[in-house]
Structure 1
Amino acid sequence: MAVNLANYRQVLSTIEPYHARLVAVSKIKPVQDIRALYDAGQRIFGENYVQEMVDKENQLPKDIQWHFIGHLQSNKVKYIAPFVSMIHGVDSLKLLQEINKQAAKNGRVIDCLLQVFIATEETKFGLDEAELYGVLDGAKELQHVRIAGLMGMASNTDDEARIRAEFRTLKTLHAAVAEKYFAGSGTFKELSTGMSGDYPIALEEGSTLVRIGSLLFGARNYA
């Protein structure tokens, strides 16, 4: 299936009133599909796999903002540190420290989102509230990362009330963290929630970044 430009325009029109941004999730999709969406005006693309992201970055225009949205291993940070714009799923102080180390080597400051566990499924990654505050306390001395907000994934369910409640919980936590750690700074403003199936709810509950793949690129074939 080729890129669905009609869906792309629909997503943009949906998020525009919320002043949110679209992360086009391009994992397992070929470079030509990314290029088609790039030619339509999209500049933020999200990838889940380090090597695939590095390969695509080498082949595509340099004004693309690459967001890493998968579960990142500390020993692979060095490969994306030279160019990554934002890392969405930081779920430990150890990982944040490694990102800081590799960013320093490249003379950069890398935007990071701390991933919070808000779902009911054990397969999801993320920090609980106590762990979140522990990472924030430990990050105060890190000069080459910028904690730009929080990220969360809702439960995989058709229960819209539950999804909404999970997103709202994260929004409330975001406000508390902003007040305690970032008051007046203006840097802690991102809330990365919502995917193809639930992004309208996420927008209503304060999302600033929606991560959408299948609506734009079609279903993925992992075979």
Structure 2
Amino acid sequence: MTERLFDGNMMEKEIEEKKRNLKENYREIRENIAAAAKASGRKPEDITLLAATKTVPAEVINYGISLGIDYLGENKVQEFLSKYDEYDKKRCHLQFIGHLQTNKVKQIVGKVELIQSVDSVKLAREIAKCSQRLGIVTNVLVEVNIGGEENKSGVKPEEAKALLREISQIQGILVKGLMAIPPICEKNSEIRRYFAAMRKLFIDIRGENIDNITMDILSMGMSSDYMEAIEEGATMVRVGSSLFGARSYPVK
């Protein structure tokens, strides 16, 4: 089924329904996060819930912010820019979580607190160059292709340390951790295996004590598997459809 793209013209009735559902969904997800955190020996506040807001209108997003959803992640540069001026930016933290082309880096550097999808030295250098022009340091995560899938971006797990060491020498950028999107798995044990592998890589790199690298964030887990991700060590989960409902927003 083709996904209908966000255009900002959702009918008021549908907007209000989305808000009602969001309030209940958010409550349930917070309860699930608390349970998963407890199962992993941590506190709920140790886990950051990042709302994946692809196709979600700014009005619905701002309602979510009023409920306490304060970390937002956008996937597409064009959509992010179309909503940027409407966000309640005083009460939220904006991040970019999608694949980022080097020719679009300058459009988001300075507007987001964290870029989650760095997978090459070339991209890191472009982010750093744009950051230095603005006199800032941009926080990033290195994306790991933990399943070795050809159709996905991300550095190979066995090459992650070498990439991190190279990025650590670049001024204007600071690596704060790792991000991964594991393959779709039919069995719970399979997805847990990928999450566990990411946790091990995360801990191994932290133990290297590489300059300009701080392993604070392990971003993994989405709507279908965020509880398993937390139980396996995630510090941040990216939840979209479980919060906002199916992505079926109208096109102009």
TM-score with structure 1 setting the length:
0.93
Q: Secondary structure at the match of 1:170?
A: helix
Kept in 1: contact 2:168–2:175 (CA 8 A) = no
Kept in 1: contact 2:50–2:238 (CA 8 A) = yes
Gaps of 5+ in 2: 1-16, 35-42
Is it true that 1:93 corresponds to 2:111 in the alignment? no
Q: Distance in 1 between matches of 2:203 and 2:55?
A: 35
- Identity level (%): 36
Kept in 1: contact 2:77–2:107 (CA 8 A) = yes
1:106 aligned partner: 134
Q: 1:210 aligns with which of 234, 237, 248?
A: 237
2:80 aligned partner: 53
Q: Secondary structure at the match of 1:197?
A: coil
Kept in 2: contact 1:182–1:188 (CA 8 A) = no
Q: CA deviation at 1:186?
A: 8.7
Q: CA deviation at 1:119?
A: 2.2
Q: Which amino acid aligns with 2:28?
A: Q
**1:63-212 superposed matches below 5 A:** 63=90, 64-119=92-147, 121-182=149-210, 187-212=214-239
Q: Deviations over 1:8-64 (max 9, x none)?
A: 112123324341001101111111110110111111111001121122121122222
Kept in 1: contact 2:168–2:174 (CA 8 A) = no
State the superposition RMSD in angstroms. Answer: 1.8
Q: Which amino acid aligns with 2:227?
A: P
Q: Secondary structure at the match of 1:158?
A: coil
Deviates more, 1:76-85 or 1:134-143: 134-143
Q: CA deviation at 1:104?
A: 1.1
Deviates more, 1:158-167 or 1:139-148: 139-148
**1:35-50 superposed matches below 5 A:** 35-50=62-77
Gaps of 5+ in 1: none
Deviates more, 1:30-39 or 1:5-14: 5-14
Q: Distance in 1 between matches of 2:56 and 2:247?
A: 8
Alignment length (residue pairs)? 222
Q: Secondary structure at the match of 1:206?
A: coil
Q: CA deviation at 1:122?
A: 3.0
**1:26-37 superposed matches below 5 A:** 26-37=53-64
Q: Distance in 2 between matches of 1:110 and 1:96?
A: 10
Q: Distance in 1 between matches of 2:70 and 2:52?
A: 11
Q: Distance in 1 between matches of 2:159 and 2:57?
A: 37
